[in-house]
Structure 1
Amino acid sequence: MYEYDVFISYQRSATDISAWIRHHFHPRLTEVLDNNRYEDVRVFFDDQVRVGARWPAELSSALQRSRVLVPVCSPKYFRDEWCLTEWHSMAAREELTAAAPGERGRPLIYPVIFCDSRHFPAWAHARRPRDLQQWNHPFEHFQAAPAYLDFNQQIKQIAAELEELIERAPEWRGDWPVRKDGPEPPSQARMPRF
């Protein structure tokens, strides 16, 4: 059965991204979603993995038991093996729930942009990610800044859209795939013409 409504996916070695998620994105998103829904909302963020637990197994289990994936995207996100495993696993689930082969089923991936989307792959841009670069301040004191009110409004809009995805998520299946795809090779750099 599902254990989580939302799984937050991000590049774990990026300390500013993990600090932003821990201090701002995860708590606000969880609180707003929980306030708006009758049922209790559970949002997976990997700081909840128990000390001494087998990290890859815990992540795979949480991913399989989550309704919706929220990738926090940066250029290096798309070079990270775990990030791509999480994204492609949920994309495979969408394909499994599609009415016809080659189609995508119910949307289960809701990407947000942390920084610099120019270098994202085309398939990530096709998801029309929500741009949060304006509010990507990892510092705790960001909560006291006037811009935090705008950030809170963005979170409210994200939560409303996520509620729809959560409610329309397919019935849980024990055979949801976990795809271990490696990163795509970087695109060729263009040489300037002189």
Structure 2
Amino acid sequence: MDYQYDIFISYPRKPSYVGDWVCGNFFNTFNDSLDNLIGGEPRIFLDKSSITNGQEWQTRILDGLNYSKCMIAIISQRYLTSENCCRELAVFLNRLSYLKQKQLIDANHPGIFFPILVGDIYKMPTELNNIQFENFSNYVHTAHDYINTIQYVNFEKEIRAWSKIILNAILSSPDCDPDWNCQDLTQEPISHIIQQPLNKISIPRLS
């Protein structure tokens, strides 16, 4: 089976302003920028617009993960404490490992996984330490008049430049291979990725 999507966007729904920003300013700006580069509508899996009423959301998300060329992960501390987000992340980290083992990609390949930082991180998972992040933390705003600010203009400029990197990855993606597919998202191991909320971490007191 061939790819169904160019990109899967993985993001936390909480705090709500991050989810609103992803589905609003970020998606609209990125989609328009990629549309302009491609010359047509990009195939992006975003749960809010890609899953319709009556569909089994876990099945749709699994299909989106297995049959997308690349993942964009909106990383925050909340993302790293979410089981659902970490399972989505694990699927693409496993695919990345598979592709490297099969020598289907190397250090010069543009990549298949693109993390975006949208807030402070207490501790980054080891698996992400060697992957370059894009930091859009300063642009996470949902106010109606934000699009009329200079900061939003700068955000658009950064998105347009970054979209060229994503397009290169889309065009360089290896052939779709069912051997890397995840069969059951709920069984995806995540103990090496997921973190505890800070209020549940035991910190030794100074005596």
Q: TM-score, normalised by structure 1?
A: 0.88
* Distance in 2 separating the partners of 1:95 and 1:56: 24
Partner amino acid, structure 1, of 2:95? R
Aligned ranges 1:60-71 → 2 under 5 Å: 60-71=62-73
Residue 58 of structure 2 corresponds to: 56
Point out where structure 1 has 5 or more consecutive residues left out of the alignment. none
* Distance in 2 separating the partners of 1:100 and 1:173: 12
Residue 80 of structure 1 corresponds to: 82
8 Å CA contact 2:80–2:195 kept in 1: the answer is no
* Distance in 1 separating the partners of 2:141 and 2:195: 30
8 Å CA contact 1:74–1:114 kept in 2: the answer is yes
* Distance in 1 separating the partners of 2:165 and 2:148: 26
Q: Quote how far apart the aligned CAs of 1:99 are.
A: 4.8
Distance 1:129 1:166, change over 3 A: same
Q: Quote how far apart the aligned CAs of 1:38 are.
A: 4.2
Residue 150 of structure 1 corresponds to: 154
Distance 1:76 1:160, change over 3 A: same
Q: Quote how far apart the aligned CAs of 1:138 are.
A: 2.4
Point out where structure 2 has 5 or more consecutive residues left out of the alignment. none
Distance 1:81 1:165, change over 3 A: same
Aligned ranges 1:30-179 → 2 under 5 Å: 30-38=31-39, 40-48=41-49, 49-99=51-101, 106=109, 107-178=111-182
* Distance in 2 separating the partners of 1:122 and 1:192: 26
Distance 1:63 1:42, change over 3 A: same
Most deviating of 65-74 and 176-185: 176-185
Distance 1:185 1:43, change over 3 A: closer
Q: Quote how far apart the aligned CAs of 1:117 are.
A: 2.6
The count of corresponding residues between Structure 1 and Structure 2 is: 193
Partner amino acid, structure 1, of 2:138? Q
- SS of equivalent to 1:70: strand
* Distance in 1 separating the partners of 2:115 and 2:195: 21
Q: Quote how far apart the aligned CAs of 1:37 are.
A: 1.6
Distance 1:150 1:13, change over 3 A: same
* Distance in 1 separating the partners of 2:31 and 2:48: 14
- SS of equivalent to 1:117: coil
- SS of equivalent to 1:5: strand
Q: Quote how far apart the aligned CAs of 1:123 are.
A: 2.5
- SS of equivalent to 1:98: helix
8 Å CA contact 1:23–1:140 kept in 2: the answer is no
* Distance in 2 separating the partners of 1:99 and 1:145: 46
* Distance in 1 separating the partners of 2:106 and 2:203: 32
8 Å CA contact 1:2–1:67 kept in 2: the answer is yes
Q: Quote how far apart the aligned CAs of 1:84 are.
A: 1.2
